[in-house]
Amino acid sequence: MLGALAGDIIGSRFEGHPAPPDGFEFFHRDCRFTDDTVCTLAVAEALMSGQDIAKTLRSFVRRYPDAGYGGMFLRWAFTDEAPAYGSWGNGAPMRVAAVGWWARSEAEAMELATAQAVVSHDHPDAVTAAQAVATAILHLRQGDAPDAVHAQLTTRFGYDLRPETALRRGGFDVSAAGTVPPALTAAFEATGWEEAVRTAVGLGGDTDTLACITGAVAEAIHGVPEPITDRARGLLTDDLRAVLDRFEQALATRA
């Protein structure tokens, strides 16, 4: 799951830029974790503790209120018991990575991906995007061939993952349906984790979320190189790093 956090951190300094220069530095001093990391770890915490997902998300957001959330989500997070607000935004797939590592079956991945989405992002596009990312991570980490997982994402979820259409640069698209195909394609087309994230960030726009999703899926294919995991870990706060550590330990002992 650290691949998601590292992607967020690497993409953070280019959010809203049209397209970063080729060969950009991964861990520049302006890099920081953003809402993608906070929400991903909140979902991880909810999964391992069994606590209410909405409550856990709200408590994490309130601890880190300046991490770069969208306005509607922030209002939701600061309003106890606020209902989901029909969002089709990429917040649902951006925070789902832990589900792909936690779930032990396709059915469980679908159920948990949906559950973590619908507390706020209950538009079908957002739910579908979260399901697609979570099940892709599950199958890839279980050793399914990337080609087979790729084919399933197209036939079952309806995504066009052809590089010539999915990897077009430009614009700032925060929709789930517009973010997940390029993020997935960047992961599937690359020969390694770093290349995948470089492609995602190079698309410009919502770079931290693109790279978060790409980094999460690419981790399930390639793993994350250790120098990257070390740097990303070092940029978390102590309490967020503790959540990550506990999640990794919980995964190691989860049958």
Please enumerate, as own/partner, the contacts of 85-88 that have beta carbons within 8 Å and a separation of 24 or more: 85/120, 85/122, 86/122, 86/123, 87/120, 87/121, 87/122, 87/123, 87/126, 88/121, 88/123, 88/125, 88/126, 88/175, 88/176, 88/177
**Within its chain, how far is the Cα of 136 from the centroid?**
12
Q: How many residues bind Mg ion (CB under 5 A)?
A: 5
| DSSP letter, residue 20 | P
Choose one: 19-27, 31-39, 114-122, 221-229; the region binding Mg ion (CB under 5 A): 31-39
Is 77 one of the binding residues for Mg ion (CB under 5 A)?
Answer: no
Of 36 and 219, CB closest to Mg ion:
36
Please give the Cα distance from 103 to 4 (Å, whole number): 17
Of 125 and 208, CB closest to Mg ion:
208
Choose one: 30-38, 139-147, 165-173, 194-202; the region binding Mg ion (CB under 5 A): 30-38
Is 89 one of the binding residues for Mg ion (CB under 5 A)?
Answer: no
Is 68 one of the binding residues for Mg ion (CB under 5 A)?
Answer: yes
Is 35 one of the binding residues for Mg ion (CB under 5 A)?
Answer: yes
Is 90 one of the binding residues for Mg ion (CB under 5 A)?
Answer: no
Distance in Å, CB of 147 to Mg ion, minimum: 31
Is 208 one of the binding residues for Mg ion (CB under 5 A)?
Answer: yes
Is 135 one of the binding residues for Mg ion (CB under 5 A)?
Answer: no
Is 34 one of the binding residues for Mg ion (CB under 5 A)?
Answer: yes
If one counts every other C-beta atom within 10 angstroms of the C-beta of residue 107, the result is: 10
Distance in Å, CB of 33 to Mg ion, minimum: 9
Burial of 144 (0-12, 13-18, 19+ CB in 10 A): middle
Q: Which of 6, 9, 36, 87 binds Mg ion (CB under 5 A)?
A: 36
Q: What is the CA radius of gyration of the chain?
A: 16
Choose one: 83-91, 107-115, 203-211, 245-253; the region binding Mg ion (CB under 5 A): 203-211
| DSSP letter, residue 83 | P
Q: Of the candidates 154, 151, 51, 142, which has an alpha carbon nearest to the alpha carbon of residue 102? A: 142
Of 45 and 208, CB closest to Mg ion:
208
Contact residues for Mg ion (CB under 5 A)?
A: 34-36, 68, 208
